A and B are shown apart, each in its own frame.
Chain A
Amino acid sequence: MKKTILIVCSIIFLAGLAQVKAQKMENNSAHKGYKVGDVATDFKLKNVDQKMVSLSDYKDAKGFIVVFTCNHCPYAKAYESRIIALDQKYASKGYPVIAINPNDPKVEPTDNFEAMQVRAKEKAFTFPYLFDDGQTVYPQYGATKTPHVFLLNKENGKNIVRYIGAIDDNYADVNDVSNKYVEAAVDALLANQPIAQTTTVAIGCSIKAQKN
C-alpha cells in the first residue's frame, strides 16, 4: 500500500514539475538560446537536394551565416535576394550562408519540404536550405522568428556565435537601407576587428510550432 502511494505521489510530483517547466519554457522563450560568445551546436539536417548537411562538412569555412528563414513569411521573402547576395559575397571569403526552415508544416503547411524545394529552385538558392525536422535545432539556437541570423565564427575548432539578429535595417526597401548589420559583422570578422553591433532586433514572423 505504502509503495503504491509513494509511486502515485511521485507521478503527481513529476507531472507538476513537467507543467512548471513547460510553463517556464513558454514564458521564457525570449531568453533561451545562444548569446554572443556561446558555442553553436552542429546539426545534421536534410537539404532540398535530399542530402544531409552539417557545419562540419565545410572544412575550409571560416564561419557561417546561419539564417532561419522560411517560405511563407513576408519578411523572409523580402530578404530572399539579400540572403542570396550575402552568400555570393561571402561564401568565397569563407562565410557561406546556411539557411534553415524552422517551421512545423503541420502548423504552417506552406513551409513544407516540397515547397522549400520549389522556392530554392525558383530563386536559384546558391546555399543549403535545410529542414529542421522535429524542430530540435532552432530552439537550441534560440531563433524566435524568421528571418533570424546567427553569424558563427570558427575559433579553436568551435563555431562561436558572434552576431545575432536582423540582416539590415529595412526589410521593405532594399534601396533605403542605412545599416547592413550582417555585412558589417562579417567584414569585421574578416578584418580581425571587433564587431560594432553584435545584436539587433527586427519584426519577423513567429516560428510556427505546435502548442504555440
Chain B
Amino acid sequence: MRYLAIIIMTLLTLNSSDQNTESKKPVSGGTSKHDYSVKIVRFADLEAVMKKNDDKLYVVNFWATWCRPCVLELPEFMEVNNAYRNQPRFKMILVSLDMAKEAETTVRAFLEKRKMDVDVYLLDDNKRMNEWIPAIDKNWSGAIPATVFYRNGEKVEFIENKMQKSELEQLIKKYL
C-alpha cells in the first residue's frame, strides 16, 4: 500500500514538473546495445572514475540489489539520468555494494530486467571500508543508500539517505 502511495506521488511529481517531458519515458530510455555487465573495482579505481578533472558533475549512488530503499529510489534516479544523459557535463554512476560473486548474476539480472542504461560498478573493497567510507564523507555512517556528487575531484555534496527525485534534480541543477 505504501509503495502504491510512493508511485502515485512520483507520477504526480512528474506531471507537475516543468522538466522536459523526456521524464515521461519508461525507465529504460536506453538502446538495446547497452552492455549490462558490472565492473568490479576497488576504491582506488572508483576514485579514478568519479574524481576525473573533466568539469563533469558526477552523481554517484551507492546501492545494493537487496537494499529496499535503494531499489525504491532507483527508478527516479534513472528518470533523471535519462533526462540529463545528453548533457556533456553530467554523468551518473551507480556503485553496487552487493557481494562480488553476485556481479554477473544477481546484479546483472537486476539491471537487465529494468533495462537500466547507466554505468554500474561493484565496489569490492570490504576490508578497507573503514578507510574509504570516511574518505567519501567523514560523517557517513556507512548506511545505504547514499549519493555523493563530485566535480573535478572535489566533493560538492553528499546525501546519506534515500533521495526524492525533486531533491536530486535540485542538486543537479545547482551544480551543473
Contact = CB atoms under 8 A, between A and B. Distances in A.
Interface of A: 26, 29-31, 74, 107-108, 144-145, 148, 165-166, 169-173, 176-179, 200-208, 212
17 contacts: A30-B139, A74-B66, A107-B2, A108-B68, A144-B143, A170-B126, A173-B126, A179-B127, A201-B134, A201-B141, A202-B129, A203-B129, A204-B141, A205-B67, A205-B143, A205-B144, A206-B162
A172 B133 contact: no
Contacts of A208: 68-69
Contacts of A173: 126
Q: Which 7 A-B pairs have the closest CB atoms?
A: A144-B141, A145-B143, A206-B143, A201-B142, A30-B139, A201-B133, A202-B129
B160 interface: yes
A176 B127 CA distance: 9
Nearest to A142: B141
Q: Interface residue tally of chain B, by bracket?
A: 20 to 34
Nearest to A107: B2
Contact of A30 (B64, B100, B140): B140
Contacts of B66: 74
Given A29-B161, A30-B160, A202-B129, A212 B69 contact: yes
B161 to A, nearest CB: 7
A145 B141 contact: yes
Contacts of A74: 64, 66
B161 A212 contact: yes
A206 B127 contact: no
Given A26-B161, A212-B161, A206 B130 contact: no
Contacts of A26: 161
A206 B133 contact: no
Contact of A202 (B133, B160, B161, B162): B133
Interface in B130-151: 130, 133-134, 139-145
